[in-house]
Amino acid sequence: MSERTGMANQSTVMEFLLMGFSDTRDGQLLHFVMFLFIYLLALTGNLIIVSVVILNHHLHTPMYFFLVNLSLADICYITTTVPKSMAVSLTDNKIITFPGCVTQVFLIITFAVSELSLLTIMAYDRYVAICHPLQYSLILNWDTCNQMAVTSWVSCLINACLQTVITFQLNFCGPDMIGQFFCDIPQLQKISCTSTKVSQIIICIFGLLVGSFCIGFIFASYGYIISAVLKIPSVEGRSKAFSTCSPHLTVFSLFISAALFSYMRPKSLSFPTIDLLSAVSYTVVPPVLNPIIYSLRNKDIQAAVWKLTSKIKKSFLT
C-alpha cells in the first residue's frame, strides 16, 4: 500500500482507498444497481441528443452544435466517476492507484469546467439570437462556433492540468482513505501530510476567476435577453423567446447551485453523508437531467426524437 522514502518515519502513498456508499453487501449491491441505472439513463439520453442533432439537418445550427458538445461532455463527465464507483461496490475492492487518481482528478476538472464554459457559450448564443436576430448567422458563423468550441475545450484542459499539478505536488504519506466515491481535490487535501494552504488559495483563485467570469457573463447575457424580450409587443412572441432560453437557464441553475453548495458551504455542514450527496448532485445528476430537460422543454428536439423513433419502427416492420 505504501513505499518507503528517504525521510524517516514517512512513506509515499502509491494507492488510495475510495469511500463506498455502504459497508454491507446488500447496500453495495443496491448502490451498484442504482448507479448502473443512472449511468445507462445518462448515456441513453445524451446519445439520443447527439444522434438526433447529427441526423436532422434542421438542427444543424449553432445552438444545437453547442448542445452536442454539452452532451459529449456529460457522457465523459459521468463516465469518469460512476463506472469506477460501481466496480468498487461490485468487487468490494476500494483501491485506486496513484496514477488512476491523478487521471480521475484531471478528467473531472476538465469536464466540470467544460460544462460551465459550454453553458456560458450557449448563453451568448441565446443573447445573439434574441437581441441581434438579423445578424445571428453573421455573428455566429461556423468558423466562429468551431473556434469558440475549441477555445473552450483547450482552456478547460489547461485549467485541469494546472489544478492537477498543484494538487499532486502535495505529499501523501497516510492515511490513504479518500472520503468520497472518487478522487476529489478537497478530500485529497484533507489527507495530505503537508500544508495545503498555498494549494487551497491557488485553486480557490482559479475557481473564483473561472466561475465569476462565466456566471457574470451568463447573468449579463440574460439581463440583455430579458430586456429585449419585454420589448416584444405580443404575448406569444415573448413566450416563444423565453421558451428557447428556459432549458438552458434550468440546466445552468441546477449545475451552479449544486457546485456552489458542494464547494462554498460552511465547514459546519461538512459531514460524510452530506459530502457524498453533494458530490452526486454535481457529478452524477447534471449528465442525467440535462438531456431530459432539453427533451421536455425543446419542441425541435421532441420532433426530431419522434421522427427518429418512427424511422426505427418502420425499419423493423419492413
CATH number of 132's domain: 1.20.1070.10
The whole-angstrom separation of Cα 102 and Cα 84 is: 14
For position 240, what pLDDT does the model report? Answer: 80
225 in any annotated domain: yes
Locus of grid cell 448542445: 67
Q: Which of 300, 198, 283, 313 lies closest to 247 in space, CA to CA?
A: 300
Count the domains in the chain: 1
4 in any annotated domain: no
2 in any annotated domain: no
The whole-angstrom separation of Cα 228 and Cα 130 is: 7
36 in any annotated domain: yes
Strand order in the sheet with 95-97: 95-97, 15-18, 177-178
Neighbours of 315 (CB within 10 A): 8
What is the DSSP code (8-state) at residue 7? S
The whole-angstrom separation of Cα 219 and Cα 242 is: 15
3 in any annotated domain: no
Locus of grid cell 445552438: 63
pLDDT along the chain (318 residues), means of 10: 40 79 86 94 94 90 94 95 93 91 95 93 93 92 95 94 92 83 88 85 84 90 90 82 82 81 66 80 89 81 82 74
What own/partner pairs with CB < 8 Å and gap ≥ 24 does 80-83 have?
A: 80/104, 80/107, 80/108, 80/111, 80/182, 81/108, 81/181, 81/182, 81/283, 81/284, 82/35, 82/38, 82/39, 82/284, 83/39
For position 4, what pLDDT does the model report? Answer: 38
Question: Which residue range is the domain that position 287 belongs to?
Answer: 12-317
For position 264, what pLDDT does the model report? Answer: 66
293 in any annotated domain: yes
For position 40, what pLDDT does the model report? Answer: 96
